Every structure is written in structure tokens, then in C-alpha cells.
Amino acid sequence: MNKFEQLGLNESLLKAILDLGFENPSEVQEKAIPLLLEKDTDMVALAQTGTGKTAAFGFPLIQKIDADNRNTQALVLSPTRELCLQITNELKNYSKYEKGINVVAVYGGASITEQAREIKRGAQIIVATPGRMQDMINRGLVNIKNIDYCVLDEADEMLNMGFYEDIVSILSDTPDEKSTWLFSATMPQEVARIAKQFMSEPVEITVGTKNSGSSTVSHEFYLVNARDRYEALKRLADANPDIFSVVFCRTKRDTQAIAEKLIEDGYSAAALHGDLSQAQRDGVMKSFRGRQIQMLVATDVAARGIDVDNVTHVVNYQLPDEIETYNHRSGRTGRAGKLGTSIVIVTKSELRKISSIERIIKQKFEEKTIPSGIEICEIQLLHLANKIKDTEVDHEIDNYLPAINNVLEDLSKEELIKKMVSVEFNRFIAYYKKNRDISAQSSGERRERGDSEPREFNNNGAVRYFVNIGSRDNFDWMSLKDYLKETLDLGRDDVFKVDVKEGFSFFNTDPEHTDKVMDILNNVQLEGRRINVEISKNDGGGRRDHNNRGGRRDSGRREGNFAPRREGSGGFRGDRNSSPRREGSGGGFRGERNSAPREGGFRRNEGGSDRAPRRSESFGDSPRPRRPRRD
Ligand code: ADP
Ligand code: MG
């Protein structure tokens, strides 16, 4: 008797399982299946991605459905079209030896009448995305008033995508006597609330640890059009001023080309690939370790085993041919217990690879939007302000102060601040002011709601805020949302589009909460630190009328006041990637990388020790924004 038999599964399922090649049940299957088969109970099952949850509910569901009855008996809700199709397909596989069971997938972006027709023919099981399901109910195309089972698959993800209301509404259309099975990787408050509201004494199953990803690496993808790949890379770098990253390309040629472009655009980058000599590679690695390089553009082979600590981001500029390779790439960050982010820049046609990778890494990706120019300006501006604040003063400068004071004495403190910031910042504003939004529209299914719609519609009327707390304060989007709701005494849907960065975050509310947000948040402290919240000019494209960050406006107006020399010498870039001290201490990478970009973005001189300090001044980073893309 094999292990699946012991769980109480019937002949036809066991046969199907044999075909599937499953030898032993996974932990969640072992725990859930007997319970679900035995009695009609509600269940909450928490298990990471890739632990076999589909079969954990799918096997018992198939066994319990009455195949002779053509009425709809079960509804499975799932967050995306892709998952919806995947589950449908799995359920069909499980039931292939069980005559008469029909499983129909219901999801947006396909003909609703065709789906309705399929249901009419008799579908015992409907697998649906919440949005489309709600649509069908509204149009009276489906009847779920007599179902026996309702499965909420990936409940956290569904709620994360803003399906709360749809779910509530759909559930209230189902009978009270049904059994509800909720599957989720994590248990945020919203999920707990659904469970509390719609389930009665659910059995709880937990596999692995609650609420924690197994690793310190979080995975994000950004959907762009193929032609915007490079621009997206630059923006991601700009949106993460302290980025220290390995950027993966597929071929040596791309690796070389991207590194060169980055260098040309003013980033501290270098290429690492097999066409470099050993000495050149050593030199690159030495500079990378020494942090003179912020973006190491590498091939998979060349980057194998790179063991540099504190890499903040792995960027998959292109996905690897073999998706298994992804694991090796993302393992370059999140080392030694540090947090890291693995980013994938992806085009629509590659989207399905994301799901395959999710299965391999047993973790979910978060879909993110390429930051808008305004968002980047905000990030950079704050970064600059913090830099000014944290700068240690070398008292050599005291000798020059009388002369400097002479020039600046008529300026008020406010003016001085504005001007100082503008020195560094005008270029960013000028560059990003005219730049378009490059986020491609989502597949519309992977994120059926939320980000899939053009943000204009999404954010309509909402107010976006900028707040000076972030992942550094141990927040992620869920905990920050919770914190804001609690602190502001707002309802569950009142805070949305929470986007957590390292030192700060963005979030949205409807305008009626603005006074509350500004009053309360600006007067609370977090572990002794004052929270500062501002209305962000960046509303994700919907509203452009919040403009009370006068500083930026002013600095924008003053754009062009500076001599070109000024810009060329020691701009924003230089400071952000290495301290002046570093530059002084031997030219660093900046001199090198410009001297021979065609050598892998690295100087021809090998070894990296005989730097040319003379050169560094003339390479005072030209700010990237001065070189907008040609296309
Ligand atoms: P989850 O929903 O927990 O993310 P899935 O149900 O999608 O996970 O399963 C992940 C993968 O594992 C699928 O490819 C599935 O076919 C496979 N799988 C599930 N159960 C087993 C098992 N008992 N033995 C082997 N493979 C399994
Ligand atoms: Mg699943």
C-alpha cells in the first residue's frame, strides 16, 4: 500500500497519481487530505509556494464531488488567470479516470459567453479569478448558491491584489453549509479576517514556519516592453541609490554591451565575462569587492560562486535559458543572513517563466512597477539630503569659509538649502521631467486587478504619500499597511498601494483621509524617531495636482543655471557611489573605467593597484540624466 493509499484516496485517483509520477505525498498533502476526506470541515492551510497545495485540496475535492450530478458543487478561487488555468489543468489530470467530472476555468480576458456556455453544459467544479467570477454572478451566468465546497487558493495573494471585496461578495452568494478551504503561503491580517468572517471552526494546518519566506531573498519582477529593458535597468539603479548589484545577462556580448552603456551613462559599472583575461577579471572583482563598482554586469559562468557579501540586488537583466540557473543567480544576494532582492526585468512573452521559477524557488514573486521619474527624483532628493546631513566635515575647509561665506551670506537658510540641493538635483529633474512611464501593462491576468490596469485608472483620485520609514525599520508592505491602518485608525481598504523602500515608503489613501494622515502621522514617533509624511507628487499617473513640495519645483525652475563645468565635476553620481575619500585615495574605479571601457568596462592596466589619481578629477561622474536615451 503506497502512501497515497493510506491517505484514503480512491482507485481512480491513485491511478491518476501514478500517471502524474508523484511517489509520496508532500507534507501539506499528508496533513490535509485525510482530514478533508474524512469529514466536511473548514480548513486553513498555510504552506509555502511549491509545497503541493493544489493536490492537497484537489485530490479530496475530486473524490468528494458527485460526478453523476451535473450541478456546480465546488468553486475554487485563485488570484490569476495563469494559476486558474494551471489548477484547472491539474484537476483535469487528477480526475481523468473519474468519469463525468467537468472542470471549467473562468477568468478575465476571454469570452465570458463561451465560459458561461461551458458552465451550462454542467461543471461540477469552477475554477475562477475573483474579478471574472463576480462579473458572471452579476450577469446571472452562474449559480453557486448550492455549492458544497469553496476553495480559496493563494488567499494572501488574492487579497494582496485587492480582491477582498469581490471575495466577500462571492462568498456571500454561497450557502452557509458549504465547507471552505483556505490555502495560503502567509497569514496577513486580511487573510485572518476572511477566515474569521467566513469560516466556522476551521482546522488549521501549518507546514514550515508561519509567515516567513524560507530565505532572506525577496523576488520581484518588472514588466516592460523589450525596447525599454535598458531604461528600466537605469531607473532601477536610480531608484536604489545605494545599489550594490550583480546584473546578469545571457551572453558575453550583451554583458559587455550593457556594461559599456552603463559606464557611458555615468554609472559605476563593469563587465565580467569569459573573454577577459584572468588578471582583468581579478581586477574587476577587486574593484567590486572594494565597492568602486556598484553594478557588476556578468554572465552566469563568470559570476559562478561570486561570494561578495552585502550585495543588495541581483538583477536579471535577461532571464537565463535554463530557469534552474535563476537560483544560482539570486544566491549572490541575501548572503550571511542579510536581506537581498532579486529583480527580474521581464517582457510579456517571458512572463510564464516567472511562474516556473516560482515553483523552483518555492517562493512568490512580487510584481512591481518601474518607478516613475517623479518617484526617482524623490528618492534621490532624500538620499542627497541624508548625505548632506551625514557628511563629516573636514576642517581643512575652515580656511576657505570666509571667502565662501562672503559669496553666500545674503542667502537665507531656506534659499541655501534649495540651491545646494539644486546643484545636484536639477539634472535629475530635467531628465525625468520629460520621461514617460515605461512600465508595460501587465498580462492583465497575473495581476488581474491592481497593477494590471493603467495606473491612471487605478489611482484615480487617490492621494499618494511619501513617508520616511521603510524596510530599514523592519517594515514590509503588509506590516506597514497594518501599522498605518492602526495608527491612523483607518479601515482595511483605506490604505493601498503600499510600496516599501529601504529608508522610506509610498502609500495611497483616498483624499478624504489626507488631513488625518498628515495630522496624525506627522506627530507620531517610531522608536524615538519622528515620522515625516508628505504628499507625494508622484501619484502613479493619476493626479498631478499635489505639488506642495515646493523645493523641487523651485529647483526645477532654476535648472540650467549652472556652468557645465560644474556639472561635470563631481556630480551626484560620484558621491553616491563612493565617498570623496575614496576618490582621493587613488582614483578608484572611476578613472579606470573610463580609460578603457572596451576592455570589459575596465582599464587595460591589470591588477588595479596602480591607479591614476590624476585622472579621477576629470572623470567626475557625468550625471546619467545628461545622457538620455536616443530612442
Ligand atoms: P503550491 O500550490 O503549494 O505552490 P503546487 O500544487 O503548484 O504547489 O505544486 C508544485 C509542484 O509540485 C507541481 O509541479 C506539482 O505537480 C508538484 N507536486 C505536487 N505534489 C507532489 C507530490 N506529492 N510529489 C511530487 N510532485 C508533486
Ligand atoms: Mg498553488
- Say what the pTM is: 0.44
Query: For ligand 1, what atom is nearest to the CA of residue 28?
Result: 3
pLDDT of residue 561: 26
CB of 108 within 8 A of CB of 130? no
Same domain for 101 and 238:
no
Same domain for 113 and 71:
yes
pLDDT of residue 266: 87
Same domain for 115 and 9:
yes
Q: For residue 345, which phi and psi values (nearest 5 degrees)?
A: -95, 120
C-alpha pair distances (Å), 596 with each of 263, 272, 450, 614: 10, 14, 45, 16
Query: For ligand 1, what atom is nearest to the CA of residue 54?
Result: 6
Residue 615 lies in a domain: yes
User: Which of the listed residues 156, 173, 206 is the one where a domain comes to its end?
Assistant: 206
Residue 458 lies in a domain: no
Report DSSP letters for 465-499, one per residue. Answer: EEES--GGGT--HHHHHHHHHHHHT--TTSSEEEE
Strand 103-106 relative to strand 125-128, pairing: parallel
Same domain for 231 and 179:
no
Q: Does ligand 1 lie within 6 Å of residue 83's CB atom?
A: no
pLDDT of residue 390: 84
Residue 601 lies in a domain: no
Q: Does ligand 1 lie within 6 Å of residue 53's CB atom?
A: yes
User: Which of the listed residues 175, 206, 237 is the one where a domain comes to its end?
Assistant: 206
Residue nearest ligand 1's atom 12 by CA? 52
Cα 21 to Cα 75: distance, rounded to the nearest angstrom: 27
Q: For residue 207, which phi and psi values (nearest 5 degrees)?
A: -115, 130
CB of 137 within 8 A of CB of 164? no
Residue 90 CA to ligand 1 centre (angstroms): 10
Report DSSP letters for 242-277, one per residue. Answer: T--EEEE-SSHHHHHHHHHHHHHTT--EEEE-TTS-
Report the Cα–Cα distance between both ends of the chain, in Å, rounded: 65
Cα 10 to Cα 156: distance, rounded to the nearest angstrom: 31
Count of domains observed in the chain: 4
Same domain for 396 and 256:
no
Q: Does ligand 1 lie within 6 Å of residue 480's CB atom?
A: no
Please list the ranges in the chain whose pLDDT falls under 50: 210-214, 443-458, 540-631
pLDDT of residue 182: 97
Residue 269 lies in a domain: yes
For the chain, the residue count is 631
Residues near ion ligand 2 (CB < 5 Å) are: 53
Cα 49 to Cα 505: distance, rounded to the nearest angstrom: 27
Report DSSP letters for 518-568, one per residue. Answer: HHHHTT-EETTEEP-EEE-S--TTS-------HHHHHHHHTTT-S-HHHHH
Residue 160 lies in a domain: yes
Q: For the chain, give the longest Cα–Cα distance.
A: 94
Cα 247 to Cα 318: distance, rounded to the nearest angstrom: 9
Cα 484 to Cα 488: distance, rounded to the nearest angstrom: 6
pLDDT of residue 437: 72
Residue 570 CA to ligand 1 centre (angstroms): 54
State the Cα angle at 296 between 293 and 300, rounded to 5°: 160
Parent domain of 237:
217-370
Same domain for 270 and 196:
no
Q: List Cβ neighbours of 589 (8 Å cut-off, separation of 6 or more).
A: 268, 270, 287, 290, 292, 293, 578
CB of 314 within 8 A of CB of 329? yes
Residue nearest ligand 1's atom 9 by CA? 52
Cα 72 to Cα 133: distance, rounded to the nearest angstrom: 13
Residue 356 CA to ligand 2 centre (angstroms): 12
Same domain for 561 and 412:
no
Query: For ligand 1, what atom is nearest to the CA of residue 20?
Result: 16
HEC string of 413-467?
A: HHHHHHHHHHHHHHHHHHHHHCCCCCECCCCCCCCCCHHHCCHHHHCCCCEEEEE
Residue 505 CA to ligand 2 centre (angstroms): 29
Q: Does ligand 1 lie within 6 Å of residue 22's CB atom?
A: yes
| Ligand located closest to 26 CA | 1
pLDDT tens digit sequence for 140-172: 999 999 999 999 998 988 887 789 999 999 999
Cα 114 to Cα 141: distance, rounded to the nearest angstrom: 11
Residue 593 lies in a domain: no
| Ligand located closest to 158 CA | 2
Q: Which ranges in 344-409 belong to alpha helices (H)?
A: 351-361, 373-390, 401-408
Residue 357 lies in a domain: yes
Same domain for 109 and 195:
yes
Q: Does ligand 1 lie within 6 Å of residue 79's CB atom?
A: no
Same domain for 97 and 30:
yes
Same domain for 14 and 137:
yes
pLDDT of residue 344: 96
CATH number of the domain that residue 617 is part of? 3.30.70.330
359, 360, 364, 365, best to mutate for ligand 1 pocket (most atoms within 8 Å of CB): 359
Same domain for 31 and 151:
yes
CB of 44 within 8 A of CB of 18? no
Q: For residue 343, which phi and psi values (nearest 5 degrees)?
A: -110, 140
| Ligand located closest to 153 CA | 2
Same domain for 49 and 78:
yes
pLDDT of residue 539: 54
pLDDT of residue 585: 27
CATH number of the domain that residue 343 is part of? 3.40.50.300
Q: Which amino acid is at 509?
A: T
Residue 501 lies in a domain: yes
